[in-house]
């Protein structure tokens, strides 16, 4: 079973969002060196600063940081597990956790005595395996919000207050759909809600496409399925049944992809994971708004000549706003060549000392409250309001936060859902077809 699972994992390594660049390797490993891999180039300076602090506290120990782009990262990491060239420590993603746990390539970290109360709610619990052992220490977190071109919004007569007070439903789309329609402009200058609008010749889409979302829809449909009250699986963690056959889920997906049929959201053909994601559509002026994650704040802020702001997720049928709250972790490879040094480094990474140092760079929200506060202050110093990302964490009464689905066979789930969701979005395949895919997924989980 482990060989079959590894094959499925290798085949699904590129099924995720976010890309990066740069190359690296795991050479230089020794009893005095801890090798550490991450994928986000923007975070390298922050972790180099942490490494310097760690090395001062641990004379004789060195940390070698390697950064690879998203797709290369997972490909090389998996190959490393097979060939024995894996790093001692690596940034882990919850989407991969179930598969890595099943492959038994992670080192238990129970002896590090991680206390859930030391981190933002839910982050520590996500990294407990089905066997009850801990396999990751909380690193950072992110939520999803609506990025929008302020100039385009003002030209459409939409204020920041209005964009922060939208609501939606799967029947008529509510005020959210009305806003997206009004932000849409065809090649003749007609807005999406005006008579004569040509949906087949759109100049500016109200909403950029982030692709089909595959199995999780993090920056696509998850804010809507979440605020409709839907759950990926039958349990919050380590679920045994997926629920893509739910009427609630399918009604949301039909409405969401229907925005493209109406011409308000860019078509699936406009999306390319390598070269044309939502952020590049915003940068090119081809779309007015897009749902994206907190890890992209600096990217949108860097678009020259464009004032990009953020708004909260719209209120859904449940009366709440919703966002996935993802949390990364640092994990140790079971075949690490320097487990003693790796444990010291992981403990340091999870400490307030390192988390506050990372927060001061203003590129990510660290997992500890003190680290988060440092990041908020750093963003504020840059003139950035990040409340659209932090409010969901602070206000549980009006917001629902939820995690990636954590199950076995995660790569298989992605591999099955990707073509089906793309067919629904891009080729108009009935959403009811997802029920059959759901049955196939649950058969795999029953193994």
Contact 92, 126 (CB under 8 A): no
pLDDT at residue 273 in the model: 85
pLDDT in tens, 13-34: 433 333 233 333 444 456 799 9
What are residue 12's phi and psi, to 5 degrees?
Answer: -115, 10
According to the model, what pLDDT value does residue 30 have?
64
pLDDT recorded at residue 99: 87
In the chain the domains, ranked by start, together with CATH numbers, are 2-141+328-388 (3.40.190.10), 144-324+409-445 (3.40.190.10)
Q: Can you give the pLDDT at residue 8? A: 44
Beta bridge partners of 310: 147
Q: What's residue 333's pLDDT?
A: 98
Q: Which two tokens stand for residue 229?
A: 């009250």
Q: Which pairs from 231-238 meet CB under 8 Å and 24+ separation?
A: 231/402, 232/405, 233/405, 233/407, 236/403, 237/125, 237/126, 237/128, 237/403, 237/406, 238/98, 238/130, 238/406, 238/407, 238/408
Q: What is the pLDDT of residues 428-442, one digit of tens each?
A: 999 999 999 999 999
> What pTM was computed for the model?
0.92
Contact (Cβ atoms closer than 8 angstroms) between residue 311 and residue 146: yes
Q: Look up residue 52 and give its two tokens.
A: 């310097």
Partners of 204 in the beta sheet?
A: 185
Q: Which residue has the tokens 């990217």?
A: 299
- Contact at 8 Å (CB) between 260 and 205? no
pLDDT for 88 equals 98
Give 63's strand partners. 34
Give dist(CA 412, CA 408) in Å, integer: 9
Structure tokens that stand for 359 in this block: 């927060």
- pLDDT under 70: residue ranges of the chain: 1-30
Q: How many CA atoms lie within 13 A of 45 on its CB side?
A: 7
Alpha carbon distance 45, 364 (integer Å): 12
CB 240 within 8 A of CB 234: yes
């Amino acid at each position: 079973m482990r060989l079959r699972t590894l094959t499925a994992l290798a085949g699904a390594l590129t099924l995720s969002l976010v890309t990066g660049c740069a190359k690296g390797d795991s050479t230089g490993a020794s009893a005095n060196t801890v090798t550490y891999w991450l994928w986000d180039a923007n975070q390298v300076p922050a972790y180099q600063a942490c490494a310097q602090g760690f090395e001062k506290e641990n004379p004789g120990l060195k940390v070698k940081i390697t950064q690879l782009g998203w797709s290369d990262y997972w490909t090389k990491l998996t190959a490393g597990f097979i060939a024995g060239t894996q790093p001692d420590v690596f940034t882990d993603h919850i989407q991969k956790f179930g598969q890595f746990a099943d492959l038994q390539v992670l080192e238990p970290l129970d002896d590090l005595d991680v206390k859930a109360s030391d981190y933002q709610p839910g982050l520590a619990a996500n990294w407990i395996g089905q066997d009850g052992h801990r396999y990751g220490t909380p690193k950072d977190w992110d939520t999803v919000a609506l990025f929008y071109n302020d100039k385009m919004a003002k030209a459409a007569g939409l204020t920041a207050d209005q964009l922060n007070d939208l609501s939606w439903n799967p029947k008529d789309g509510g005020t959210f759909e009305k806003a997206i329609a009004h932000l849409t402009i065809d090649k003749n200058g007609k807005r999406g809600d005006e008579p004569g609008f040509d949906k087949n010749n759109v100049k500016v889409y109200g909403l950029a496409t982030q692709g089909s979302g595959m199995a999780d829809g993090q920056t696509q449909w998850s804010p809507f399925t979440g605020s409709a009250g839907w759950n990926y699986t039958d349990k919050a963690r380590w679920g045994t049944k997926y629920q893509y056959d739910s009427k609630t889920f399918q009604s949301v997906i039909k409405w969401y992809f229907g925005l493209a049929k109406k011409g308000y959201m860019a078509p699936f053909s406009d999306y390319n994971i390598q070269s044309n994601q939502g952020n590049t559509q915003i940068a090119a002026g081809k779309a007015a708004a897009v749902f994206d994650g907190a890890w992209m704040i600096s990217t949108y802020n860097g678009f020259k000549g464009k004032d990009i702001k953020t708004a909260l997720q719209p209120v859904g049928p449940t009366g709440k706003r919703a966002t996935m709250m993802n949390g990364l972790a640092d994990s140790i490879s079971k075949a690490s060549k320097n487990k003693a040094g790796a444990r010291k480094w992981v403990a340091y990474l999870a400490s307030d000392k390192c988390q506050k140092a990372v927060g001061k760079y203003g590129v990510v929200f660290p997992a500890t409250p003190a680290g988060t506060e440092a990041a908020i202050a750093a963003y504020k110093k840059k003139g950035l309001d990040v409340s659209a990302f932090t409010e969901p964490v602070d206000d549980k009464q009006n917001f629902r936060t939820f995690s990636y689905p954590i199950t076995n066979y995660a790569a298989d789930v992605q591999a099955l859902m990707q073509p089906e969701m793309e067919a629904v979005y891009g080729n108009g395949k009935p959403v009811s077809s997802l029920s059959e895919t759901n049955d196939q997924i649950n058969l795999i989980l029953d193994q």
